[in-house]
Structure 1
């Protein structure tokens, strides 16, 4: 059966698609996999420098698997959604332990690896091994939701199942490597979330949303839910040697496994911070200097951060451990740090811009 959708899309891709992205060079399963994980919820322009630095430090799956987690998180710092980095590290070790460092070419085996879902596994199969496989990332969902006028939010199972059926029906048997890149490019370049460039779309003649002048209705939006608001004190505790105290976050949850600044309950007033540092951490401090507070938004809540700088007097109580370190700022910046913490350590006056 003729696949007119794929034919038109591939013709467009040959002329207008992206053919020179970093992960297109020396293409293999490892490079495709890392790029796919980085591109989840992140723009290509943001990913490119991270990908290049990551490849320079971890050129293959063996290098990644043998690296300390702090090193991996340090190279991920700023990309956000840090569970992706922790899962990437775990999966690299699985590939080395279970497959001798060679990525399996079968989708089911790829999906068994930590952090690799159906669409990511398919992208690896298609892009690295040239085998027919069906992808459905965010860009593809948007293209197909509009093309077939599929109502509803793609996060709902029934809607997602419809989109998978359409994705499968359009995936060609030939040139699948180019096709998977083409449909992702179409969503990223033409069929954008807002103000799509329908006049440049190679498949607009068959697009139901375009025919109805309803592209803004597809895909459906996620039902809105008010995010709760939370508040915390975040302390820049600096000793007489100019070292700052960092604490490792728990392995799961917000900023899991990253290094962050110590926090105190917002119930403490500014005039109680010195006493709280003694009570909670055994540290004697000078009076606090307050830094402008700011709000950082996570996927499910807003966090109001009130930073305070407190010089530490005679640091003899808080020693280094697996979960706590005194580090000079240049040392601290080599670790995996959440973006707001990195800014607080380098340009605290800019933290309000985050």
Structure 2
């Protein structure tokens, strides 16, 4: 780490944020805050859960749909699990949707629909970890908690010219971020430093000439900004294989199966299928003449790549499945399926 000639000034970043804050559906901007508008903890919480490992662009439409359909945490708490999981379909990381419901129900039942206004109270809720608790505390309740996401890590690594690779650098970067978190306007500051990383201090080609902290940035002075943060080499992802069985009854109904609550795609509706292994067992969910499609459905999860063999069949009305249940054609909506299941279905539409 290089020595700095001057410490980054949170006030300079806040002044920049007041002029350049991103407009987001879950955010109360600096002008609104000056007018006395307070952030809604429900909307802050919802956005933070959705934004975990997901881009702002991907989240916006889901956030709008969820908050329109379930405008309060109590509305969400009383929703049917299947409706929430279907509304989440396509956003990925489905454990977040299950935790969303668990948390909403605890807030509704144990806190009369009002989110706790302390870090300790928030982190005790289902699905809320240290980062999310800090973000809600700061943004919703203006508490001086330190928020450290990927954008902030990148800003801190560059401002302090920190070359320790991630993830080992996380506690070091947290110390830097904590030292800069101000007692004045901490919620705006948290959003400002995230905006700085998202719009100026970007992973590639950072716009250093526009940065309010440029003169305080050790990496800019050293010419190393583009090389930071350093990251340890990623392990190569393994590839798993599976089989998806897409059966359609002669009246158009399709055979679907609800996945177990735990594990990938937990609680989601999808095509009956095999385990995802090196050598999946061919075990059709209903007796039929199965046809194997010539193309595979491919999808990448966090820890592995998946290749699905897709088998299709047309079955008579009186055939009983070994597992799963038929969903009428006028009720079935492929958009309610997880992305990998939609990919498998799309292959049937091209044959």
Q: TM-score range by the shorter chain?
A: 0.7 to 0.9
Question: Residues 245 and 122 of structure 1: is their aligned pair in 2 closer, same or farther, counting only changes over 3 Å?
Answer: same
Query: Contact 1:239–1:315 (CA<8 Å) still a contact in 2?
Result: no
Contact 2:25 2:60 in 1 (8 A): yes
The whole-number CA distance in structure 2 between the counterparts of 1:294 and 1:89 is 30
Q: 1:299 to 1:239 in 2, by over 3 A?
A: same
* SS across alignment from 2:229: coil
Of 156, 164, 180, 2:190 maps to 180
Q: Is this contact kept in 2: 1:132–1:176, CA < 8 A?
A: yes
Aligned position for 1:16: 20
Do 2:292 and 2:309's aligned partners in 1 also have CA atoms closer than 8 Å? Answer: no
Larger fraction in helix: 1
Contact 1:139 1:188 in 2 (8 A): yes
Cα contact 2:253–2:327 (8 A) shared by 1: yes
Query: Displacement, 1:241?
Result: 1.5
Residues 304 and 177 (structure 1 numbering): CA distance in 2 closer, same or farther, change over 3 Å?
same
CA distance, structure 2, for counterparts of residue 293 and residue 62 of structure 1: 42
Contact 2:295 2:347 in 1 (8 A): no
The answer to whether the 8 A contact 1:70-1:335 is kept is: no
Question: Which consecutive unaligned segments of at least 5 residues does structure 1 have?
Answer: none
Match runs of 1:77-88 below 5 Å: 77-88=89-100
The equivalent of 2:339 in structure 1 is 339
Matches of 2:280 and 2:148 in 1, distance apart? 48
Q: Deviations over 1:203-257 (max 9, x none)?
A: 1211122222222332222432121111112111111111111111111211111
Q: 1:230 to 1:206 in 2, by over 3 A?
A: same
- Residue 89, structure 1, aligned to residue 101, structure 2: yes
Q: Hey, what does 2:34 align to over in structure 1? A: none
CA distance change for structure 1 residues 215 and 294 in 2, over 3 Å: closer, same or farther? Answer: farther
User: For the residues of structure 1 that align with 2:203 and 2:254, how far apart are their CA atoms?
Assistant: 42
Of 216, 223, 242 in structure 1, the residue corresponding to residue 252 of structure 2 is: 242
Are residue 223 (structure 1) and residue 223 (structure 2) matched? no
The question of whether the paired residues in 1 share the 8 Å contact of 2:122 and 2:128 is answered with: yes
1: distance between equivalents of 2:145 and 2:80? 33
Residue of structure 1 equivalent to 2:301 = 298
> 1:4, CA displacement in angstroms?
4.5
CA shift, 1:192, in A, is 1.3
1:46-125 correspondence runs (5 A): 46-125=58-137
Deviates more, 1:204-213 or 1:135-144: 204-213
Normalized against structure 2, the TM-score is what? 0.88
In the TM superposition, residue 154 of structure 1 has moved relative to its aligned partner by: 3.4
The root-mean-square deviation of aligned C-alpha atoms, in Å, is 2.5
How far residue 336 of structure 1 moved from its aligned partner, in angstroms, is: 4.8
Query: 1:51: how far off?
Result: 0.4
Unmatched segments (≥5 aa) in structure 2:
1-5, 29-37
Please name the residue that 2:31 is paired with. Answer: none
| Structure 1 pair 50–350 and aligned structure 2 pair: CA distance change class (3 A) | farther
Are 2:241 and 2:279, in contact at CA under 8 Å, matched by a contact in 1? no
Output one character per residue of 1:40-89: Cα deviation in whole Å (capped at 9) or x when no partner: 11111111111000101111111111112211111111111111111111
**Secondary structure, in 3 states, of the residue corresponding to 1:293?**
strand
Q: 1:260 aligns with which of 253, 270, 274?
A: 270
Q: Tell me, yes or no, if structure 1 residue 33 matches structure 2 residue 45.
A: yes
Q: Deviations over 1:294-347 (max 9, x none)?
A: 32111111111121221113443228xxx7221135523278521121344356
Question: How many angstroms apart in 2 are the aligned matches of 1:330 and 1:149?
Answer: 58
How far did 1:175 drift?
1.6
Task: Name the count of aligned residue pairs.
Answer: 335
Give the conservation status (yes or no) of the 8 Å contact 2:257–2:324. Answer: yes
